[in-house]
Amino acid sequence: AQTVTQSQPEMSVQEAETVTLSCTYDTSESDYYLFWYKQPPSRQMILVIRQEAYKQQNATENRFSVNFQKAAKSFSLKISDSQLGDAAMYFCAYRSAELYGNKLVFGAGTILRVKS
Amino acid sequence: DTGVSQNPRHKITKRGQNVTFRCDPISEHNRLYWYRQTLGQGPEFLTYFQNEAQLEKSRLLSDRFSAERPKGSFSTLEIQRTEQGDSAMYLCASSLEGQGNSPLHFGNGTRLTVT
């Protein structure tokens, strides 16, 4: 079974600075997808960014980018120019590319605090 | 796109009672997922449907839990004889499969408190 590990329970960043959240995963599959989801306090979970394992190029979405290292099974999220609205719980998630096996497997999450 | 809707938002029940939650997915989405999330933890997979067919259930899901998705539209999750350990946020998500790597869209969840 696949597992996702987020080793940082909590991170802090100064407004306008850059922060990197770590994620590692374990799988024997070669084709899969990786995601970062954001869950603000008392609000619904929303997708931040996704990466297909077959793509070598790292995904970017505005201020959010990932560092995908397939051999190391590492998938970190970099948030540039941090804003107060970025404060949330961030979850890394894995999804198999198999047709009927593609539920999301989540890590335990990292709380991100943004200081003004 | 009105998003994924879950009802009720909060449910307080006494131990031993049965509870039922409802999820209305995004209308064109054919896949529907149920997750459970306890405080400070990541969501834990419970089960998912493709249309009306329940394709996978977590081995962690006890026999007291049952989910249905009649006609492939809304879904219900029932917990029988609730226990205090069932207290958690129950999240529903939906996605459109057959279009590659489509993301899951989550609802706001139903928070269950068992006293």
**pLDDT given at position B1:** 54
- Cβ separation A100–B56 shorter than 8 A: yes
d(CA A51, CA B95): 17
- Cβ separation B42–A108 shorter than 8 A: yes
Task: For residue A86, give the 3-state DSSP assignment.
Answer: helix
Return the C-alpha torsion angle B2, B7, B8, B9, nearest 10. -40
Q: What is the rounded average pLDDT of the residues B91-101?
A: 80
Model pLDDT for residues A34-91, shown as the tens digit of each residue: 999 999 987 889 999 999 999 989 999 999 999 999 999 999 999 999 999 999 999 9
- Amino acid symbol at B1: D
**pLDDT given at position B43:** 94
Contacts of A46 in chain B (CB under 8 A): 106
Interface of chain B toward chain A, CB-CB under 8 angstroms = 4, 33, 40-45, 48, 50, 55-56, 91, 93, 97, 101, 103-109
- Under DSSP, the state recorded for B38 is -
Contacts of A91 in chain B (CB under 8 A): 42-43
**pLDDT given at position A89:** 96
Nearest CA to B77 among B16, B30, B43, B35?
A: B35
**pLDDT category of residue B40 using cuts at 50, 70 and 90:** confident
Instruction: Report yes or no: A16 at the B interface, CB cutoff 8 Å.
Output: no
**Smallest Cβ distance to A104: which of B4, B50, B104?**
B104
**pLDDT given at position B60:** 76
Model pLDDT for residues A97-106, shown as the tens digit of each residue: 876 656 899 9
Contacts of B97 in chain A (CB under 8 A): 102
Counting every residue, how long is chain A?
A: 116
Q: What is the rounded average pLDDT of the residues B27-38?
A: 93
**pLDDT given at position A41:** 86
**pLDDT given at position B110:** 97
**pLDDT given at position B6:** 97
**pLDDT given at position A1:** 78
**Between residues B35 and B62, the one the model is more confident about:** B35
Q: Please give the structure tokens belonging to residue B9.
A: 């938002």
**pLDDT given at position B18:** 98
CB A101 within 8 A of CB B33: no
Model pLDDT for residues A19-37, shown as the tens digit of each residue: 999 999 999 988 899 999 9
**pLDDT given at position A99:** 64
**pLDDT given at position B97:** 79
